[in-house]
Structure 1
Amino acid sequence: MYRMGTSYSSTFPTRPPNDPDDPASVARNDQTAFEQIDQMLCHWDRPHRRSYHWMVTLEHEPHVVELSQRCQAVLPERGLDLIPPESLHLTVRRFGYVDDVPAGTLDTAVSTVREHCRTARPFDLHLLPLAGSPGALRFSVAPWSPLLSLHRAVSAASGYDDVDPLTQYRPHVGIAYSNQVQPPGPFIAAARKARSLPSTAITIAELRLVELYRTDHQYRWHVLERLPLAAAS
């Protein structure tokens, strides 16, 4: 069992999948870890400050929106804050907190990441229902290799070029946040039910830098930069 305290790490599951590029391996690893937690926690108890994030935003991906809504329909009505279509996203990495990052530092990082994106090809990403973490219900995603490459690039732009993303990065797309400490059983059962739904695939052709903030138990953002991947420019 995953024994939970009053807080949790964003690196969940602790161990990466055996094959991060195989959808079945990724889904199996996520599902097994989720089914071993002993409680859900309140996602909103995590500290938050307005911040810069590198993200893939998904609000204009109709297949992702449709699958998220079909999965949300089988989730328990209580204990969750459902993520609306306009807030669907895949985080690559937080760059820093707004009040800590000088404008010049941000501009330099954007230039560095833009150069990487000019040589990084668009890629297909599979989204598979459904697993979760102690604080959320979420889609597994695969393959990880192109996302790990983006993570390395934005980490290097932040001065962390010696970080292995597999030690801390677990790509996923959330569809609902747990809003209280509660037993996980109903959510594990709902996730199992949702796995009968088909997966979906999308093409990732752009990385975005956003200014992220929280309001009314949801994340919102302003897009600051749109960086197309090579063949999408």
Structure 2
Amino acid sequence: MIEDAQELRDHWWWRPGWKPGRHFYTWHLTFAGEPALHALITTYQNALRHLPGLDLIPHDWLHLTMQGVGFVDEVSKSDAHAIAEAAQARLAALPAPTLTFDKPSIRPEAIALPPQPAEPVHHIRTAIRAAIADVWGPDRVPEQADGYQPHLSLAYVRTDGPATPVRDALSAVTPDPVQVTIHTASLIRLERANRLYRWQEFTTAALTRGTILDTPSN
């Protein structure tokens, strides 16, 4: 288990390649239609709401980051579709896992819920990385295979400072854990604006089902 951070730092620095208005293809797990999970997150967010320096994430934009593909202006739509189709073929062979979300972890730049167990999330990511390699070759798969730490963020840090107030606020609430079954992974067009990540769904790939559900995209 990753130990809680002792110091917090601003999440909203510009990563390489990012700039206002630029979009990024990436795979996420998303959590629409999960009221029990939303209630759990609301409990923790309410405990944090009085603290300065945190951006609470609206339920519509909750996500578990999986695997980047590339900036939309650098990846052709045909390649994006090919990667989605390859991912569907691989993810269809995986069971739909049930994950438990319980107590948050304090990361340097975010307050997040780690999924338990983490292994199925790693298996999904490995399948997606293999799908990218199917299309582009193993040497062009973005990001590192190692070091991935799956987490579902409920707040981002916007001010540097000690983590003690966050830890104290979270320890004051003890909601019951929640289970969520993951049926799909989503390839999305991600945008960062106004201290929030928003997206348009490009395609979803189902676990244990043999279809790809296309969503109109610009």
TM-score range, shorter chain: 0.7 to 0.9
* Distance in 2 separating the partners of 1:182 and 1:91: 25
* Distance in 1 separating the partners of 2:169 and 2:145: 28
Cα displacement (A) at 1:230:
0.9
Q: Verify: 1:89 aligned to 2:57, yes or no.
A: no
Name 2:111's counterpart in structure 1.
137
Give runs of aligned pairs for residues 19-30 of structure 1, distance below 5 A: 29-30=1-2
* Distance in 1 separating the partners of 2:40 and 2:210: 25
Any unmatched runs of 5+ in structure 2? 212-218
Name 1:57's counterpart in structure 2.
30
State the one-letter code of the partner of 1:44. W
Does the CA contact (< 8 Å) of 1:54 and 1:208 recur in 2?
A: yes
Cα displacement (A) at 1:59:
2.6
Task: State the Cα deviation string for residues 196-222 of structure 1 (Å, max 9, x = none).
Answer: 221100111111110000122111100
Name 1:212's counterpart in structure 2.
190
Task: State the Cα deviation string for residues 6-53 of structure 1 (Å, max 9, x = none).
Answer: xxxxxxxxxxxxxxxxxxxxxxx23xx11xx34211111142342111
* Aligned-partner SS, 1:44: coil
Name 2:79's counterpart in structure 1.
105
Cα displacement (A) at 1:137:
0.5
Cα displacement (A) at 1:112:
0.7
Cα displacement (A) at 1:105:
2.1
* Aligned-partner SS, 2:7: coil
State the one-letter code of the partner of 2:196. Q
State the one-letter code of the partner of 1:39. E
Does the CA contact (< 8 Å) of 1:210 and 1:223 recur in 2?
A: yes
Aligned length in residues: 200
Name 1:44's counterpart in structure 2.
12
Does the CA contact (< 8 Å) of 1:130 and 1:192 recur in 2?
A: no
Q: Verify: 1:228 aligned to 2:214, yes or no.
A: no
State the one-letter code of the partner of 2:35. P
Any unmatched runs of 5+ in structure 1? 1-28
Name 1:69's counterpart in structure 2.
42
Go from structure 1 to structure 2 and tell me whether the alpha carbon gap of 1:126 and 1:232 turns closer, same or farther (over 3 Å shift).
farther
Does the CA contact (< 8 Å) of 2:89 and 2:210 recur in 1?
A: no
Name 1:184's counterpart in structure 2.
163
Identity of aligned residues (%): 26
Cα displacement (A) at 1:179:
0.9
Given candidates 164, 179, 188, the residue that maps to 1:201 is 179
* Distance in 1 separating the partners of 2:130 and 2:147: 15
Q: Verify: 1:119 aligned to 2:87, yes or no.
A: no
* Distance in 1 separating the partners of 2:210 and 2:76: 30
Q: Verify: 1:147 aligned to 2:121, yes or no.
A: yes
TM-score (norm 1): 0.79
> Root-mean-square deviation (CA), in Å?
2.2
TM-score (norm 2): 0.84
